Each structure stands twice: as C-alpha cells, then as structure tokens.
Chain A
Amino acid sequence: MPEATSNPVPGQKAWVLFPLGKKRFALPADTVTELARPDRLQAFPHTTTLLTGVLVRRGRIVPVCDVAQVLVGPNAPARKFYLIANRKFDAASEWTAIPVSGECELASAQPAPRTEGLPRYVTGLLPLNGEIIEIVDLEKLAAGEAA
C-alpha cells in the first residue's frame, strides 16, 4: 500500500489532515480554504444537528459544524482552530468552519478503498507512517446525523 507523502506525486491527490485529539482525519485539499485561529462563535436558535453557531470571516457569515462529536465522540478534546472548508449544496457552495484540535498537515497520496464496517461518511483510507487516516465526506456525515 503506497504511503502518503507531503511531496505531490503525479497521479496522487492532495489531502488536508486535521487532528481531533490523538486521531487524524482527512479532507480533499481542494475543498479546504484555510485554517483559522480561534474566533468568536455566535450562536442562535436552530434545529440543525452538528451546527453550533456561526463565525464572521472576511465579511462572510460561516456556519460552524462540530464534527468532533461524531468522529471521536463526547470526549473530544478542546478545539483550537477552525478549518474552513467548502461544502456543496446543489448548485451552490459555501464555507463551513470545522473546529479542530491542532495544526493541520498537507499530504499527497492515493487513497485506499474503505473497509467493511466503517461508517458511510468514511469514503477511503490514507496510510501515513504506519497510521491509517480516515477520509471524511462532510455531506455524508451531516446527512447521516440529520436522518
């Protein structure tokens, strides 16, 4: 199984690896806009699961989607940064802020197919220095929680 590297290799795809405590997950790099410092989370009443509020980022109102509670459970560590990723909604796309617990890393690799028994929102696996990193599909994760 080819290992992930930080140097892009033709045929491989780029990924952003983000930590939630001791575990890391991956998103396609072309969906990630930036890693933002802690910002003021503003909450208001709503009924959408996983959303905890919004940030104001560069004049835009960005919803905050706390995936940690699904990916690592109720004992998720304190989130220190916001990973700003693009989500698609039919023809539209918008930023979503994902709280993460530390600095992110850019890696290049060919993903391995997901194995049986993994949640539907895990769409593949990345091997990296002996670590297996789950590739997460934000839409499937959010849809699964909404169901």
Chain B
Amino acid sequence: MKLGRIEKRKPRSRRSESVILFAVAQYKFAIAAHAVDEIRNLEGLQPLGQAFSRAGKVRHVFQRDHRTYFVVDANLHLRILSSHATRLLLLRDASIALTADSIDRMAQITTLHPLPHAFQGEERDWYRGLALIGEDVVPVVNPAALLSKAEIVKLHDSLPKLEAAAQAAGSR
C-alpha cells in the first residue's frame, strides 16, 4: 500500500533543506526529502532465498511499475540489532529502497554539520553529516552509500536467479 509520494520541491532558501525523519530501533535518522520518491508499507516485499545471503544487507526485492527495487535492510546496513521494520522508503532515481521502523515527520535543516574527524569508521560513508533538530543530533543518511554501483550491477545481473529464488521462497 502506498502511503505517500514525496513531491520534489525547491528549497525555500539556498541554505534550507527538507529532510524526512525516520526511526530504526532506538535511533532517529534523517534523509533528504528530495532523495525519496515514495514511502510505503511492506506489502509486496518478496524475500530472497538463503542462497542470496551473500547479498548481505539486501534480503528482499520490491516490484513497482515494472521496476525492481533492492531493499536495503537498515539494521544490517547500520549494524543495529534487529528491530521491527514497518515502512519502506523508495529512493528517487535509484533501484534502492530502505527499510524503517517508523516515519516521524518532515523537518527543515539549515546547517549540515560535518561528521567529526574522530569518527573514522564506515559511518563516514553512511552519513552526509549531522543535523541539529531541536536539541537532538540526527545523522543524515547518505543514499549513495546504501549500495555501491558495483553492488547494484551485481544484483541486477542476478535478477533472473533472484526472481526464481523469490518464487521458490514464496511457494514454500
């Protein structure tokens, strides 16, 4: 079921950016609103077979309008203990969707603080930076880091096998 399309809007000012706040487990995150095409529930997700556990954080695909989205499990991507995802963020201009436990609201941010240099791990790719929303520090997710181009190509190449595995998994 589709819950809403995100319309591309021009920012009100050069410095202001619209973001969507969402939660995964106990953590709150933001993602640029212009990067998200649609927010849905999980209806229509097709699980992949165990043979594709190599794909790591992609455990499901989603089909819409003859287009396949590779669903990135946010918990696996961010190394968070599993929680209960109920929403899917379909990214604009990409074959990627991201799971979320809940969607909070939209917000405007005027400053994107760079991630402090002390952070030297994978988070430097995960996040575009940090936003201060009220008194909360909220990491802003980098959509480009969800799946690399090479990973997407590899997944697309595996699509016939993925569909067969999904059908097999669905028929069990």
| Interface positions of A (Cβ within 8 A of B) | 40, 42-48, 51, 54, 56, 61-63, 65, 87, 89, 92, 94, 96, 142, 146
Residue in chain A with minimal CB distance to B130: A61
Once bound together, how far apart are the Cα atoms of A92 and B135, in whole Å? 26
- Residues in A with CB closer than 8 Å to B27 are 43-45
Which residues from 27 to 77 on chain B have a C-beta closer than 8 Å to any C-beta of chain A?
27, 29
Q: Which of A61, A87, A92, A146 has the most CB of B within 10 A?
A: A61
Residue in chain A with minimal CB distance to B123: A46
| B119 A48 Cβ-Cβ under 8 A | yes
Tell me if A's interface is mostly helix, strand, loop or mixed: strand
Contact of B79 among A42, A47, A146 (CB under 8 A): A47
Once bound together, how far apart are the Cα atoms of A42 and B113, in whole Å? 15
Which 5 A-B residue pairs are closest in the complex by CB-CB distance?
Answer: A47-B121, A89-B117, A46-B123, A63-B118, A45-B78
Indicate the size class of the contact surface on chain B: 20 to 34
- Residues in B with CB closer than 8 Å to A43 are 27
Which residues from 86 to 135 on chain B have a C-beta closer than 8 Å to any C-beta of chain A?
113, 116-123, 126, 130, 132, 135
- Residues in B with CB closer than 8 Å to A44 are 27, 29, 137-139
| A94 B79 Cβ-Cβ under 8 A | no
Once bound together, how far apart are the Cα atoms of A48 and B118, in whole Å? 8
CB A85 to nearest CB in B, in angstroms, measures: 11
- Residues in A with CB closer than 8 Å to B116 are 54, 61-63, 94, 96
| B121 A94 Cβ-Cβ under 8 A | no
CB B13 to nearest CB in A, in angstroms, measures: 20
Q: A44-B27, A61-B137 are in contact. Are A56 and B132 (CB under 8 A)?
A: yes
| A56 B137 Cβ-Cβ under 8 A | yes
